[in-house]
Amino acid sequence: MGGTTVALLELGIIFLGLGLLGRIAARMGMSPVPLYLLGGLAFGHGGLIEFGGIAEFGHIASEIGVVLLLLMLGLEYTAKELVTGLGQSWPAGLADLVLSFTPGAVMALMFGWGGVGAMVLGGVTYISSSGIAAKVLTDLGRLGNRETPTVLSILVLEDLAMAVYLPILTAVLAGASFLGGLQAVGISLLVVSAVLLLALRHGHRISSWIHSPDQETFLLRLIGAALLVAGIASTLQVSAAVGSFLLGIAISGSTAENAVRVLEPLRDVFAAMFFVVFGLNTDPATIPPVLGWAVLLALATAATKMATGSWAARRSGIGRWGQLRAGTTLIARGEFSIVIAGLAVASGAIDGQLAALVTAYVMLTAVAGPVVARFAEPLVRRLVREPEIAR
């Protein structure tokens, strides 16, 4: 069979498999991310069956998946919300950065991965999964709770931190000098600031330019703008993912609402492919040796996220049960952690063991996070014999 035929057959099997895994995850009430990673492990190097005919498509599809993930994340916020959240919640954001970045950085140094490895694994353990957190809040009916704005503020600050972190990481992984690293920091800060200012003053113009009453035209403009901005961002040494995130922030109002509606199915398809490709590039045989370390890292960073969320909620005058809910909502890691690890692995600057550790870590936290968020409060109330009251 020709290469195209093999690729089509393999893609058909993968997408059908993803559909089955997604259905299983929905019935279990969990994020599909861990199952997508498992699917990738099953069909990659060292898996049950090795699929080698989709490498080129998989690479491009996964890049588009990251762009759409970050674009959708940006659409959830307005520039005003980001600026306001930054002004009100920066102490909690700083505590979150210090507490959650440190365990990953320390473990990387223990593995002998040096400063670059510490920067990578620290970023992996720092960033919570906005997608999983949003799903937890929705599924558990907590969107109207008093602690929810605190949780969202922390997630917004993490997203802003990623807008600065990813360009710096990209420069470091590329072997940039200290001066080159400073240049990357300066460029990223300048671009982020400029886009936020542009979004605050002219967001309605950007939205009106992209908007179209015809859904096909609207979708083409939206995807075209996202890919173009991502490409320009890469040219400026700013992460393509960050570029699409900033475009999402600049789009507001009804245009943003329509964009979320039309992009969601497309985002889910390409994002699923992104997680599968990461799994395809990870040898399952490398996971058992690091599984214990992944469990230890998951426990340590679950504790740091619970401490951060609880402290931030307490600063906002929220009671102890709201503090517990805020902390547990932040436990899960997901899309951003895989993006960071993917950049590191693709650069070749980090030991391949990193991919195995991150895969195991993300699967553990993505599964355990929603479970802990659902059952922690009822369990603790039962232990202290206190009935649940209206929130």
For the segment 5-9, the average pLDDT, to the nearest whole number, is 82
Asked if pLDDT for residue 380 goes beyond 90, the answer is no
Q: How long, in residues, is the chain?
A: 391
The ranges assigned to domains in the chain are 3-384
Contact 307/363 with Cβ under 8 angstroms? no
% of the chain with per-residue pLDDT over 90: 15
At residue 328, the pLDDT reads: 93
Asked whether residue 389 carries a pLDDT value surpassing 60, the answer given is no
Q: Could you tell me which of 340, 280, 286 has the C-alpha nearest to residue 125?
A: 340
With 0.85 as the threshold, say if the pTM is over it: no
Residue 167 has pLDDT above 80, yes or no: no
Instruction: Tell me the CATH architecture of domain 3-384.
Output: Up-down Bundle (1.20)
Which residues, 6 or more positions from 184, have their beta carbon under 8 angstroms from its beta carbon?
A: 167, 168, 170, 171, 176, 237
Q: What is the mean pLDDT of residues 248-258?
A: 81
Mean pLDDT on 107-115: 89
pLDDT tens figures, 175-210: 765 566 666 666 666 766 676 676 666 667 778 888
Q: What is the chain's mean pLDDT, rounded?
A: 80
What integer pLDDT is reported at residue 297 of this predicted model?
A: 96
Element housing 331 (H / E): none
Position of tokens 């490709």? 277
- State the amino acid at position 210 in one-letter form: I
* pLDDT confidence of residue 12: 87
Tokens representing residue 49 in the block: 């069956």
More confident residue, 348 or 265: 265
So what's the pLDDT on residue 104? 94
- The answer for residues whose C-beta is within 8 angstroms of residue 308's C-beta and 6 or more apart is 92, 95, 96, 99, 100, 154, 327, 330
Distance CA 47, CA 165 (A): 33
Tokens of 314: 């307490």
Q: Which residue has the higher pLDDT, 66 or 313?
A: 313
- 41 or 192, which is more confident: 41
Q: Is the pLDDT of residue 80 over 70?
A: no
